[in-house]
Structure 1
Amino acid sequence: MTDYSRLSRLDLNLLVALDALLTERSVTRAADRLHLSQPALSASLARLRAHFNDPILARRGNAYELTPFALRLSEQTGPALEGARRVFETQASWSPADSTREFSIYGSDYGAVTVGRVVTRLAAERAPGVRFRFMLHSPSVVDDAATRLRSADAMLIPHGPMADLPFVDLWRDDWVALVSDDNAVGATLTMADLAALPFVMTYQTRSAFTSAGRQIQQLGIEPRVEVVVESFLALPAFVAGTDRVALIQRALLPRVDREGVRALPLPFDATPISNALWWHPIHERDPEHAWMRDLFVEAGTLVAAEALTA
């Protein structure tokens, strides 16, 4: 059984002071940020030093630096403070029309401008005080999703990289190829073309890749990667006027600048993209979070319908 006796003796205001000190790395700046006097914050720092048995801030010449222990601590303090804030902002009864909650969502620009765009439109009609913060994920964020989603509300990402977390399916999408209007491949793309043409890839590491890009490799073609850009929206700019080819989701076609480029079907049956919304189990019974999840499901249906006309 967890022993809470030590925690019960702590003043949780120290967490606020600790976060400010770790962020500002200065008692003066941290006190200004919290609108406290320097002696008051110095007293909090003394209590933190006693609790952790570590200086937290160590003088180096005319400045202060975080100790190695404090650097490790800084990775945990922000999520812990955010979690505490969420606990005390939770309401027993909640109405979307009266809410002022901000939902934070990790994902790619693909997720933000497709389903994210529709979600914000629906929310503006039903809950005008609700805000959304869309944050670009990275391979490190995805790898550490179980921790990151303790302090964020959800992650927009297709099935594949994620596991062992609650999710809801949103919509299925497929891949098409982008080539320049003047590319010599004509109206039909072949496997030989994919082997010969240089690629623009969106992700190209051992742990970060697109399903279609990986499938090309599994079919025996090693793409000749000329450009890597971690943005789906930027792909047309790196294809237009070149002999390059890129892989892009069909639902994104209405959202990108297609001047100078054209979309072609792939010469193989690409595995469909099964887009989903993922979250941490701590949000499971939060009525506000459940409302947000339902909104994404509704928006996914609308995005799927829109993609059919692209």
Structure 2
Amino acid sequence: MTSRGTAARRPASLASLDLNLLVFLRELLRERNVTRAAQRVGVSQPTASAALSRLRRHFNDQLLIRSRGAFTLSPLAVQLAMQVEPVCAGLERLFSTSAEFDPLASEREFKLLTVDYVLAAFGEQLSREMYRAGPNIRLYVQVVKQHLPADPLETLRVIDGMISAPKAEFRVPGIRSLELFRDRWVCLVDKNNPVSDHLRLADLERLPWVVPHHPDGGYPPSSPLGPLMARLGTRPRVAVRVDSYQATPYFVAGTDRIAIMQRRLAGLFANRADLRVLECPGDPPPIVETLWWHEQKEHDEGHKWWREAVERAARRSEAADGVGRSRHAIRAVN
């Protein structure tokens, strides 16, 4: 079977399509495994195998390719994986639409795009809040690996929300927002790093950095740390770049490196005897994490319920964060 048909395909009419295949296709591309996809959909193995055969015939593509004992997605399947999620989400919203929304009876899925720091800051509270108020409601969290979407307005048309710090590209007509919580920047160093507990800008210029979620081209002026970078006499000397805020401390421990990270996240590592959390010099601007959504969802009762659940979770996380700070004071901070 070829990877793509060479002849031009005529668009299939909606009436001729089996929408059950769409659900199976989504789970197949998520799991990359026929057996697990069958379990997710709730069908037998033979039924799943037959569905895969139908999908392969329809797209004239293998979709799943066996490689070294596992399955990988074909190039076409990679494209389909990006398209099938918003299609399924849209259909679920369409067929679950009603004048009222009952969270106790709903099985609606909400899709959230954010970075791993936000999940560390209040992901557990969000999970608990949604489960308490709507135990059958599902949440699909897509973690940003490198950069937020370049066109947030179009992205927010097909997902329910995005949580990030404010950026210029979010300030456009059609996008609504709600501030969730604030944080501040601190520095993380190894306990044996000879640097003083009271850091200076000169220390940031001298020490090698661990930098999460950042390209090799340095910090642009639009970066949340742009104002601080402007005060440095030289560009930071980056020793490690890693696409995870939560992985940052592991590349600081046992080295002379330094990382600038969010205080809430650094607080998770405050009990480690091999690390020190210090105040960041240079008075960097605060971190303001915000929920963004498309104005088309403004009056959707289900989406309104979800936004309120996100807001309640953020408030609970702030309260818990205050308790945590009183019980586990961060060494050398304050």
Q: Could you state the TM-score of these two structures normalised by the residue count of structure 1? A: 0.75
Indicate yes or no: 2:227 matched with 1:192.
no
SS at structure 2 position matched to 1:233: coil
Task: Quote the offset at 1:291 in angstroms.
Answer: 1.1
Map 1:247-262 onto structure 2 (within 5 A): 247-256=260-269, 258-259=271-272, 260-262=274-276
Letter in 2 for 1:57: N
RMSD over aligned CA atoms reads: 4.1
Task: Measure the CA separation in 2 of the matches of 1:140 and 1:34.
Answer: 40
Indicate yes or no: 2:301 matched with 1:268.
no
Comparing both structures, which one devotes a greater share of its residues to helix?
1
Task: Measure the CA separation in 2 of the matches of 1:116 and 1:132.
Answer: 11
Instruction: From the superposition, tell whether residues 38 and 240 of structure 1 become closer, same or farther in structure 2 (CA, over 3 Å).
Output: closer
Task: Measure the CA separation in 2 of the matches of 1:72 and 1:302.
Answer: 38
Match of 2:60 in 1: 57
Match of 1:13 in 2: 17
Instruction: From the superposition, tell whether residues 305 and 141 of structure 1 become closer, same or farther in structure 2 (CA, over 3 Å).
Output: same
Give structure 1 stretches of 5+ with no counterpart: 1-6, 49-55, 60-65
Instruction: From the superposition, tell whether residues 78 and 122 of structure 1 become closer, same or farther in structure 2 (CA, over 3 Å).
Output: closer
Instruction: From the superposition, tell whether residues 256 and 107 of structure 1 become closer, same or farther in structure 2 (CA, over 3 Å).
Output: farther
CA contact (8 A) 2:146 2:214 kept: no
Indicate yes or no: 2:189 matched with 1:215.
no
Match of 2:238 in 1: 225
Which shows bigger deviation, 219-228 or 298-307?
298-307
Q: Could you state the TM-score of these two structures normalised by the residue count of structure 2? A: 0.71
CA contact (8 A) 2:228 2:283 kept: no
Task: Quote the offset at 1:279 in angstroms.
Answer: 1.7
Match of 2:256 in 1: 243
Identity %: 30
CA-to-partner distance for each residue in 1:142-185, whole Å, 9 max, x for gaps? 22433433332211111126413221111111111111111111
Match of 1:3 in 2: none
Task: Measure the CA separation in 2 of the matches of 1:108 and 1:272.
Answer: 17
Which shows bigger deviation, 271-280 or 292-301?
292-301
Give structure 2 stretches of 5+ with no counterpart: 1-10, 30-36, 39-43, 63-72, 326-334
CA-to-partner distance for each residue in 1:261-307, whole Å, 9 max, x for gaps? 11111111111111101122332222111111112222222333444
Task: Measure the CA separation in 1 of the matches of 2:49 and 2:119.
Answer: 42
Task: Measure the CA separation in 2 of the matches of 1:130 and 1:233.
Answer: 27
Task: Measure the CA separation in 2 of the matches of 1:45 and 1:14.
Answer: 14
CA-to-partner distance for each residue in 1:26-45, whole Å, 9 max, x for gaps? xxx99x99949979x86x99
Corresponding residue to 2:127 among 113, 117, 120: 120
CA contact (8 A) 1:20 1:33 kept: no
Task: Quote the offset at 1:201 in angstroms.
Answer: 0.4
Which shows bigger deviation, 106-115 or 293-302?
293-302
CA-to-partner distance for each residue in 1:226-271, whole Å, 9 max, x for gaps? 0011211112211112111111111223334641111111111111
